[in-house]
Amino acid sequence: MDVTLGIIGGSGLYELPGLQGEWETIESPWGEPSDQVLRGTLDGTRMVFLPRHGRGHGLDPTGINYRANIDVMKRAGVTDLVSLSACGSLREDLPPGMFVIVDQFIDRTFARPKSFFGNGCVAHVSMAHPVSRDLGDRVEAAAKVVGVPVRRGGTYLAMEGPQFSSLAESQLYRAWGADVIGMTNMPEAKLAREAEIAYATVAMVTDFDSWHPEHGEVDIMSIIATMTQNADAARNLVATLAAATPPTREPCSTGSDMALETAIITTPEARDPALLAKLDAVAGRVLSRS
């Protein structure tokens, strides 16, 4: 399939220097995305960039319209989506500056719509392997070329926020085996899966959350200072990834391109035409044949 690389930029990543293109408005039936998208090419690779919190960081993690964001990425033709995210560390051996290519999630968010589907068209996709192994391979290779400290694999605990965790919560998440913590990658990863977009996350450690006896409480000023350093490396990583991205690729080995293949359980007669109309982009591949 033809590849279009999408990048969702998190805290501190509101533009992508080097991406030659235009900011474009893409309408979505799911409401307002975080911002316009910057669509163009970088080193010959078709790319679409969206700042998750909007330019100016006006949106908090709960207020982001994740469905509209993923829907506009799908409408823009994105096949491979990389999330760049600030995160806290829940492990001694993942210090600030470390980039973690996450492969699992624990979803503790509770105040966000989490699916494109629902009454009138019910679907249950597998989240056993929520990220694309192949895209993760390419991201890992790019990180190694850039020379950032990188860890392949890790569990990202998604919390609601916007407050940071209490000491007791931070200790609980460590006991669960979570490696990093953030506020945004859920339901983003679930929605990317539903939209059949290969997804990978680069979780860039900015702090030790609340558990570490030798590091004080998390504070936003020190997070931003570390994030500013991480952001330069993240932009280099994206440029390297773009240069190494092939124009076409094989089907994703973790099934990202086919996640809806057998997921929709509602019979064609019982489907709600209004919901089907909203699903035109994310589920068009499977809905058009029944």
Q: Binding of ligand LNRAV4D5 at residue 68 (CB under 6 A)?
A: no
| Residue 10 interacting partner from ligand LNRAV4D5, ligand ADE, none (CB closer than 5 to 8 Å by kind) | ligand LNRAV4D5
Which letter does DSSP use for residue 187 in this model?
A: H
**Which residue type occupies 208?**
F
> Which residues from 47-86 bind ligand ADE, rule CB under 6 A?
86
The reply, when asked if residue 183 is annotated as ligand binding, is yes
The reply, when asked if residue 86 is annotated as ligand binding, is yes
Question: Which has the closest alpha carbon to 118: 288, 289, 286, 271?
Answer: 271
Task: Evaluate whether 178 touches 156 at the Cβ level (below 8 Å).
Answer: yes
CA dist., res. 205 & res. 154, Å (int) = 12
| Two structure tokens written together for 199 | 């997804």
| Two structure tokens written together for 168 | 């007791």
The reply, when asked if residue 208 is annotated as ligand binding, is yes
Q: Binding of ligand LNRAV4D5 at residue 255 (CB under 6 A)?
A: no
The reply, when asked if residue 207 is annotated as ligand binding, is yes
Q: How many chain residues are in contact with ligand LNRAV4D5, going by CB under 6 A?
A: 12
- Smallest distance from ligand ADE to CB 159, Å: 6
Q: Binding of ligand ADE at residue 12 (CB under 6 A)?
A: no
Q: In this chain, which of 3, 4, 7, 10 binds ligand LNRAV4D5, going by CB under 6 A?
A: 10
CA dist., res. 224 & res. 279, Å (int) = 37
Which letter does DSSP use for residue 251 in this model?
A: P
Pairing of strands 180-182, 80-89: antiparallel
CA dist., res. 19 & res. 41, Å (int) = 6
Task: Evaluate whether 263 touches 45 at the Cβ level (below 8 Å).
Answer: no
Q: Binding of ligand LNRAV4D5 at residue 85 (CB under 6 A)?
A: yes
- Virtual CA dihedral for 134, 138, 144, 149, nearest 10 degrees? -60
Question: Which has the closest alpha carbon to 35: 5, 64, 77, 78?
Answer: 64
The reply, when asked if residue 55 is annotated as ligand binding, is no
| Residue 61 interacting partner from ligand LNRAV4D5, ligand ADE, none (CB closer than 5 to 8 Å by kind) | ligand LNRAV4D5
- Smallest distance from ligand LNRAV4D5 to CB 231, Å: 10
| Residue 130 interacting partner from ligand ADE, ligand LNRAV4D5, none (CB closer than 5 to 8 Å by kind) | none
| Two structure tokens written together for 278 | 């909203």
* Binding span for ligand LNRAV4D5 by CB under 6 A among 39-47, 181-189, 238-246, 264-272: 181-189
The reply, when asked if residue 240 is annotated as ligand binding, is no
Site string for ligand ADE, 20-49 (x = CB under 6 A): ------------------------------
Residue 103 vs residues 134, 180, 189, 200: alpha-carbon distances, Å? 12, 11, 11, 8
Annotated binding site: 11, 52-53, 85-86, 183-184, 207-209
Binding site for ligand ADE (CB under 6 A): 86-88, 159, 164, 181-183, 206-207, 209, 218, 223
Annotated binding site for phosphate: 11, 52-53, 85-86, 184
